Amino acid sequence: MPPLNRFLICTLFALVYLPGALAAGRYQSQEDFLAEAFQENPPDPAVLWLRGDLKQQVATVLGHTYPSLRIRYWKKGPRSAWILEEIGKEKPITAGFVIQDRHIVRVKVLAFRESRGWEIRREFFTRQFDQANLDDKQRLSRPIDGISGATLSVRAMKKMARLALLLDRQIP
């Protein structure tokens, strides 16, 4: 193969596949997320057990059963923080949600492991969740615009947002 053709093929490959490969990764630690959520003074974690009706509600929101019997959360005053995982296309997305007075006040993608859909970590996307809450049918109170090529990642984020709001309703 002539050198110019090899160069063009390598350049095309890099332009198509490299951005997604570089985008996958860990963006923020759990500790840093919690420090931001609670102004450098996060509370100790608490545990919410998924039993009975709550377990069924969680399965309805996610479309499958939750893989654990309990979920850790952090609460101080009217503010709670939740770090959740949901499968995008094939791999888990880890996201943090801060809820205050039953509304989302912050969303942050902490880790993204897929090769596509990484745009969900950008502020233009996560900002759409600000002040969302749940309606009577456990749907988000505001529309969340999708991202072309990131449909499954967007869907996972919407499920996790609904889950965080649902779980927040269960704690005192």
Contact of 70 with 49, CB cutoff 8 Å: yes
Answer whether residue 8 is part of any domain. no
Cα(116)–Cα(93) distance, integer angstroms: 12
**Could you tell me if residue 45 is inside a domain?**
yes
Are 113 and 24 within 8 A, CB to CB?
yes
Q: How far apart are CA 100 and CA 10, in angstroms?
A: 49
pTM of the model: 0.85
Specify the pLDDT at position 7.
Answer: 66
Return the pLDDT at 18.
47
In a domain, 19, yes or no: no
Convert the pLDDT of each residue in 19-70 to its tens digit: 544 456 899 999 999 999 999 999 999 999 999 999 999 999 999 999 999 9
Residues in the chain: 172
pLDDT mean over 163-167: 98
Let me know if residue 10 belongs to a domain.
Answer: no
**CA 98, CA 82: separation in Å to the nearest integer?**
7
Number of domains in the chain: 1
From the CB of residue 95, how many other CB atoms can be counted at a distance below 10 Å? 26
| Assigned token pair, 76 | 């101080």
In a domain, 46, yes or no: yes
Residue spans of beta strands (DSSP E) within the chain: 25-26, 45-49, 70-76, 79-87, 92-100, 103-112
Tokens of 127: 């900002």
Domain limits for position 146: 25-168
What's residue 11's pLDDT? 59
Digit-coded pLDDT (tens) for 58-107:
999 999 999 999 999 999 999 999 999 999 999 999 999 999 999 999 99
pLDDT tens column, 114-156: 999 999 999 999 999 999 999 999 999 999 999 999 999 999 9
Question: Is the residue at 17 inside a domain?
Answer: no
6 within some domain: no
